[in-house]
């Protein structure tokens, strides 16, 4: 039976962008059901101990730049190391994913196109007009999706998804979840692929052995 993959992410994440095409290929090959779960990363970081890039030690910032170069080559994805319009307020873009899914649209193409606009084209996607255009380009009813994304119900869904991520211990983007087992980072996609290929049960925290309590 095909399995379901929940993807917790946010549009500004370069790692979500780098892994997007590879993830799509894996999901298609295994006929997996995919549910995209945008989260407010600022809230997640504040709750789980993560730091925004600018607040990280310079050693960590420098290593990130090296890793981005490695992975853009490995994945064959164009990526600017310092895009002109990043970081940006992702809440509208994230909420558009929720609004699209609420109308039974597959938001995958919109997600990929929007991240490419940021990371490969130096586009400013914080503006409503730019996001509507990207939605239209990927087959979504842009004007309606933008309007729905700005509604209170979608805002509450965004907050709820963020809470769910934190309650389940998901602390970064992207996090792919199958049957409760989390794979954090696009560099874990091969492990995800292997799980789906083998059909194994999910791993979890080991239970305490009776003699060690």
Q: What contacts 64, CB < 8 A, 6 or more positions away?
A: 53, 56
pLDDT band at 9 (very low <50, low <70, confident <90, very high): very high
Better pLDDT: 2 or 162: 162
State the average pLDDT over residues 126-148: 96
CA distances from 190 to 120, 150, 193 (A): 24, 36, 5
Return the residue matching tokens 């914080």: 126
Over residues 80-108, the pLDDT tens digits come to 999 999 999 999 999 999 999 999 999 99
Q: Which of 7-11, 28-32, 80-84, 206-210 has the lowest mean pLDDT?
A: 206-210
pLDDT band at 213 (very low <50, low <70, confident <90, very high): very low
Segments in the chain forming alpha helices (H): 14-29, 41-48, 58-75, 91-102, 108-121, 128-137, 142-149, 152-167, 189-198
Residue 30 has pLDDT above 70, yes or no: yes
Residue 42 has pLDDT above 50, yes or no: yes
Q: What is the mean pLDDT of the chain?
A: 96
CA distances from 83 to 14, 69, 117, 174 (A): 10, 14, 10, 19
* Contact between residue 92 and residue 146 where contact means Cβ atoms under 8 Å apart: yes
Residue 1 has pLDDT above 90, yes or no: no
* Contact between residue 161 and residue 6 where contact means Cβ atoms under 8 Å apart: no
pTM metric for this prediction: 0.94
Q: What is the pLDDT of residue 70?
A: 98
Over residues 156-189, the pLDDT tens digits come to 999 999 999 999 999 999 999 999 999 999 999 9
Rounded Cα distance between 213 and 140, Å, is: 55
* Contact between residue 152 and residue 165 where contact means Cβ atoms under 8 Å apart: no
- In order of start, what are the domains of the chain with their CATH numbers? 4-212 (3.40.30.10)
User: Structure tokens of 137?
Assistant: 């380009």
* Contact between residue 14 and residue 119 where contact means Cβ atoms under 8 Å apart: yes
Return the residue matching tokens 């998901």: 170
Burial of residue 133 (CB within 10 Å: 0-12, 13-18, 19+) is: middle
């Amino acid at each position: 039976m095909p399995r379901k993959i929940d993807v917790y992410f946010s549009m500004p994440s370069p790692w979500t962008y780098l892994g997007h095409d590879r993830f799509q290929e894996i999901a298609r090959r295994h006929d997996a059901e995919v549910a995209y779960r945008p989260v407010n990363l600022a809230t997640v970081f504040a709750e789980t101990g993560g730091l925004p890039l600018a607040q990280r030690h310079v050693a960590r910032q420098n290593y990130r730049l090296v890793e981005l170069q490695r992975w853009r080559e490995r994945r064959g994805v164009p990526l600017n190391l310092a895009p002109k319009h990043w970081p940006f307020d992702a809440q509208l873009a994230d909420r558009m994913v929720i609004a699209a899914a609420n109308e039974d649209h597959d938001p995958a193409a919109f997600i990929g196109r929007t991240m490419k606009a940021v990371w490969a084209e130096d586009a400013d996607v914080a503006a409503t007009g730019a996001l509507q255009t990207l939605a239209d380009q990927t087959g979504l009813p842009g004007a309606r999706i933008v309007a729905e994304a700005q509604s209170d119900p979608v805002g509450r869904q965004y907050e709820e998804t963020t809470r769910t991520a934190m309650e389940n211990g998901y602390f970064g983007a992207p996090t792919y979840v199958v049957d409760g087992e989390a794979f954090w980072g696009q560099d874990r996609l091969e492990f995800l692929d292997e799980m789906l290929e083998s059909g194994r049960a999910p791993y979890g925290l080991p239970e305490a052995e009776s003699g060690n309590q």
